[in-house]
Structure 1
Amino acid sequence: MTTASKIALVTGGNKGIGLAIVTGLAAKGFTVLMGTRDPAQTADELAGDVRPVQLDVTSQHQVDALAQHVETEFGRLDVLVNNAGVHPLLFRPLDHIPRPTEEIVEDYRNVYEVNVFAVVRMMNAFLPLLDKAEAPRVVNVTSMRGSLGEPGAWAGQPSMVYSSSKTALNALTAHYAREFAGTKLKINGAAPGHVATDFNQHRGTRTPEEGAAVAIRLATVDDDGPSGEVYQDDTRLAW
């Protein structure tokens, strides 16, 4: 069994916000498992101890295999960042954001499978390994679009599919945190803001590093830090 200071797993870690989270945690001395569907296509030069691992979060077989690998190699998991996510715009032209009445059941299946169901799959598989860590942390990468009460959350024409998937993710965060209240495990949501990524053909106004900062902070929060909350930068969102 390999000895390491702290072990982090980041889903969807090979590009965009995920890669910035991987890089930031590695800079803090973590051994970071970069979850990606194709480890062969990851960047060759990454500073720190970054290890690409095969992970399609929609595959129960791959999730279980990775959990077994982490248990054998490290015996625990200190940080899980559920970053992998999709948006209907990945399947539609960017210049036409569909109105709620234009979105179809198949859109929900595609998006919820990654943004919601996969988080449950990851939690079920890795909670036993998180329980073996001294100060385990879970960060679910969400969005202000998932808020039902934050002013400005629904500015413009948001996708009902994407927004509701993040609302559901926020609910999962709250329920998991409630179950583990009073324990060493802290579970929070990180909203990165309007980051330039593949989601929006890089039309966002923030860099991946700016968006990743809140997730990195919550992944390394002290024992007296929050749990069951959602933050964008240093602001707690009213969701």
Structure 2
Amino acid sequence: MEIARIALVTGANQGIGFALVEGLAARMGPGDTVLLTGRDGRRVADAVSLVAGAPGTRSRVEGRVLDVTDARAVAAMAAELDERHGGVDIVVSNASALLTPERSQSEQADEFIAVANGGTHAMLRSFGPVLRSGGRMVVVASSLGTLGHLDPRLHPLFDGTSLDEVEQAVESWRTAVHAGTAEDLGWPRWLNVPSKVAQVAAVRAVAAQRRTRDVPEGTLIAAVCPGLVDTRLSRPWFADFSQAQTPARAARAVLDLLLSERVDPEFYGELVRFGGVLPWYGGTPLHEQDGQLIA
């Protein structure tokens, strides 16, 4: 008898998180469950109603309130799903906080880092151990998450490190932002660049510990880059949206990865975009000009 699958997506009220829930609910089976999570109970309920009422929905969709900055809440949900279902099959860590050019980066640092990085760390720590054999766990990052986007002075903080060391590096960066010394130390002004690099570094750190067990079982832990997506989070930062995707379109390649019967072992622990691996050491530092990003 086929075992019912459990999928969970964080930051799923809107944007690509919502599109991923829609896609999972349409492509998974009638006995499967997709958990749509977010911080606001009303928005979660509204989003669940939209997906559940869509013509293509096949799976059961349930809403859960989850604040990924609360590591205890994340751990409790992982333990509950493990107890009730024997683990989870698909986990998408997607939560992110809005970052705008109108406010200083230091004003926004604590919330942004807590969601994007603290949330990623909490999800990896708590849901990694309950991921079923052959499961998929991905962190939604971006092409900015490659090490080459940082000043070379900062590379040792994220290259070949443990998850604990990644967390320490993130905290030292956050402290430098508040102290006004971040740029002198080589950190980019825009918070999203080191945040994405740290997300991918966290994935790589966890994957390095699990690789010998996971790869033979067909289990995947990876970061994913959906490409430029036209959402309220990206709108303030990029001038040209002519090549931007809708969330639904951007979700397709990620869904193909999550639901594929077999995953290329080369993807394990890497940053994957459109079916290929983005080299960890690739990329060049970016700078800001008039509130827009320039290569």
Shorter-chain TM-score range: 0.7 to 0.9
Matches within 5 A, 1:1-239: 5-29=4-28, 30-41=32-43, 42-43=46-47, 44-46=49-51, 47=57, 48-89=59-100, 92-93=101-102, 103-104=105-106, 106-130=107-131, 133-149=132-148, 160-184=190-214, 185-201=219-235, 204=241, 205-221=244-260, 222-225=262-265, 226-239=267-280
Name the SS for the 2:50 alignment partner.
Answer: coil
Cα 1:224/1:232, change in 2 over 3 Å: closer
What is the aligned residue count?
218
Cα 1:16/1:4, change in 2 over 3 Å: farther
Contact preservation (8 Å) 1:13, 1:19: yes
Name the SS for the 1:181 alignment partner.
Answer: helix
Cα 1:190/1:136, change in 2 over 3 Å: same
Superposition TM-score, scaled by structure 2 size: 0.67
Name the SS for the 1:8 alignment partner.
Answer: strand
Which 10-residue stretch deviates more, 192-201 or 62-71?
A: 62-71
User: Aligned partner of 1:115: which letter?
Assistant: A
Which 10-residue stretch deviates more, 185-194 or 166-175?
A: 185-194
Which 10-residue stretch deviates more, 190-199 or 223-232?
A: 223-232
Contact preservation (8 Å) 2:141, 2:200: yes
Q: Deviations over 1:89-119 (max 9, x none)?
A: 2xx43xxxx8xxx632x43322221111111
The Cα of 1:12 is off from its aligned counterpart by: 0.5
Superposition TM-score, scaled by structure 1 size: 0.81
Q: Deviations over 1:66-95 (max 9, x none)?
A: 223312331211111111112422xx43xx
Percent of aligned pairs sharing the same letter: 31
Distance (Å, rounded) in 2 between the aligned partners of 1:174 and 1:68: 24
The Cα of 1:224 is off from its aligned counterpart by: 4.5
Name the SS for the 2:133 alignment partner.
Answer: coil
User: Aligned partner of 1:117: which letter?
Assistant: G
Query: Which residue number in structure 2 is paired with residue 154 of structure 1?
Result: none
Larger helix percent? 2
RMSD value, Cα: 2.4
Distance (Å, rounded) in 2 between the aligned partners of 1:69 and 1:160: 37
User: Aligned partner of 2:209: which letter?
Assistant: E
Cα 1:200/1:159, change in 2 over 3 Å: farther
Q: Which runs of 5+ in 2 are unaligned?
A: 52-56, 150-187, 281-295
Q: Deviations over 1:157-202 (max 9, x none)?
A: x962111100011111111111111223321111111111120349
Cα 1:194/1:13, change in 2 over 3 Å: same
Q: Deviations over 1:16-42 (max 9, x none)?
A: 100111111122214211111123323
Name the SS for the 1:206 alignment partner.
Answer: coil
Distance (Å, rounded) in 1 between the aligned partners of 2:224 and 2:41: 25
Contact preservation (8 Å) 1:17, 1:209: yes
User: Aligned partner of 1:127: which letter?
Assistant: G
Contact preservation (8 Å) 2:124, 2:206: no
